[in-house]
Amino acid sequence: MAESHLEHSQSDTRYGLPGAMPRKVNVMMLGAGSFFTNSILRDVVLIPDNLGGELRLVDIDAERLERTERLMRKIVEETGQSDKWKIVSSTNRRELLPGIDYIVNSIEVSGVACVRFDNDIPLKYGISQNIGDTIGPGGLMKGLRTVPVYLDILRDVRELCPNAVVLNYTNPMNMMCLAAGRAVPEVQTVGLCHSVQGTGRMLAGYGGISYESMQWKCAGINHLAWFTELNDANGNSLYPKLMEMAANRESEFSKAEPVRSDMMLHFGAFITESSGHLSEYLPYYRKRKDLLDKYTDTGYRGEESFYANNWPNWRKASDEKREKQISGEEPLDLKRSFEYGAWIIESVEKNAPLLVHGNVMNNGLITNLPQDGCVEVACLINQNGVQPTHFGALPRQMAAVCDSNMRVFDLAAEAAIHKSKQHAAWALMLDPLTSAVCSPAEILELTNELFEAEAEFLPGFK
C-alpha cells in the first residue's frame, strides 16, 4: 500500500480537502496554554469553507489561559472570521464540555515542577536521559502524574459529550492511549504525533525525491514505528542509498541521526523518533560513557538532560512569543501545519477520506505484537471517524524491539489506572535503558525515591 498523507496541503491554505463544511463545529483545547494551540486551533480556523462554530479553551493556569484567548481572538480577526468563530474559556472543563464535537488534549500535569526530579534522581543511579517524557524513569513518572487526570477527563466526556472525538497530543503517548483504551473504552480516542510525517519528509529529502512521490509503509508503536517499505514512485527502494550513507560515520546522514542510522544498519529499517529520544527506548546507547560519546551529540541527537535543562525556558519563550504576536510585534504564521488534528476534523466533517497515523488499541492490527497493547498504524479518516487499518506482522526483529517497550507500557498503564507503586516498580524493572544500567534492587530504590519527591502530584498511590 502506498501511503502519502495530506499531499497537497501542508503549508498552503489554498489547498484543502474537497467540499464545504456542512455544519458549525465546537472544538475544545484542553491545556490551552500549550504549544499545540498555536498550530492546531489555528489550523481549524484555516479549514477552507468552514462555517465556524465555537473554540473552547480550558487551562488550569488562568494567566496562560487568558493569553491564549487573546491570541485566538487575534487569529480569527486577522483571518477575517471574527463573525464565524465564538471563543470562550474556562478553568473548569465541565462547564464547557456539553455540546463539544472534538477535543484536543494537550495537558501538562505538574507544569515544570517535576522536570528536575524526573531527570536528576535517575541520573544519580547512572540513567542518562535526553528527553525523558515517554519511557524510562522520566516517562514513567510523567505517565503516573498525567494518566489519572486524563482518565478523569474521559469520564467527564463519557458523561457530558459522549459522541465527541478526543485527539490526544499529550505524552507519554502510549501509556495515555493504552490506559484510555482499557479504562474508558466507550470514548473515541486517538493519539497523534508528528514523528511519522516528519520523518517521512526527512527521508524523502535524503533519498533525493519528493515526499508526495514516495511510497511507504510504517507501523509499530509511538516513537518506535518502522518504515518497513520506502520506495520511489517507480517502486525502487530508497534503502540501498540510505544504508550506504549510514555506513559512513562521517556522512551528513549519520551525523544528523547517529542512533537511527545505526539501528537501521542492524535491524533493517528506519525508525520514526529522533536519535536522542530513541536512544532512551533501547538498551544499547546510553549505558556507558564511551557509547554516549560515540552515538550521542548535542540537542535532540542525545544530549544528556537536554529536555530538563531547556523545557522551562522553552515554555517561557512560548509565552513571550504569544505576547509579541498579540501586540503585533511579531507576525502571526497563518499557514496550515502538518499536525494531524485539524485535518482529521476537516476529513470527518467533509467526508473526504484521509490517511493518517494514529495510536490506537491493537486488536489484531499488528498480528505479532501484544493484542491488548497500543500500536501506531495507518488510520482511515472519513465521516465514520477514525478507522485503524490492518497492517499484519512486522519483521520479527522489529516486533521484538517494540514488544520490549510494550511490556513496560503495559505495567505502567496498570500502575496509573490502579494507582499501584508495585506495578510502577515492575514497569521500571522492565524498562530497556533502566534495566541495562541498574539492578532490580536499585530500580526499586529509585522508584521509591521518585515517588517521595513527587508525592504532591501522585495522590492515591499505594
Q: For 42-71, how does the pLDDT look when each residue is reduced to its tens digit (9 = 90+)?
A: 999 999 999 999 999 999 999 999 999 999
Other C-beta atoms lying within 10 Å of the C-beta of residue 1: 10
How much is the pLDDT for 300?
95
226-248 mean pLDDT:
98
Using one digit for the tens of pLDDT, what is the confidence trace for 354-388? Answer: 999 999 999 999 999 999 999 999 999 999 999 99
81: in domain: yes
Catalytic residues: 194
Using one digit for the tens of pLDDT, what is the confidence trace for 123-132? Answer: 999 999 999 9
What cell was used for 44?
A: 481549524
256-271 mean pLDDT:
98
Portion of the chain with pLDDT greater than 90, in percent: 94
294: in domain: no
| 297 vs 7: which has the higher pLDDT | 297
Q: Is 145 exposed, middle or buried (0-12, 13-18, 19+ CB in 10 A)?
A: buried
How much is the pLDDT for 11?
34
* Domain span at 29: 25-112+133-193+315-334
401: in domain: no
38: in domain: yes
How much is the pLDDT for 12?
37
Using one digit for the tens of pLDDT, what is the confidence trace for 299-319? Answer: 999 999 999 999 999 999 999
Portion of the chain with pLDDT greater than 70, in percent: 97
375: in domain: no
400: in domain: no
On the question of pLDDT at 187 being above 60, the answer is: yes
89: in domain: yes
Q: Is 83 exposed, middle or buried (0-12, 13-18, 19+ CB in 10 A)?
A: exposed
How much is the pLDDT for 199?
97
What is the pLDDT confidence band of residue 4, given thresholds at 50, 70 and 90? very low
Using one digit for the tens of pLDDT, what is the confidence trace for 6-25? Answer: 433 333 333 468 888 999 99
Using one digit for the tens of pLDDT, what is the confidence trace for 153-181? Answer: 999 999 999 999 999 999 999 999 999 99
269-275 mean pLDDT:
97
93: in domain: yes
How much is the pLDDT for 35?
85
Using one digit for the tens of pLDDT, what is the confidence trace for 318-339? Answer: 999 999 999 999 999 999 998 9
Report the DSSP beta bridge partners of residue 103. 28, 166
Q: Structurally, how many domains does the chain consist of?
A: 1
**At 31, which CATH number?**
3.90.1820.10
Question: Cα dihedral sign for 169, 173, 177, 180?
Answer: negative
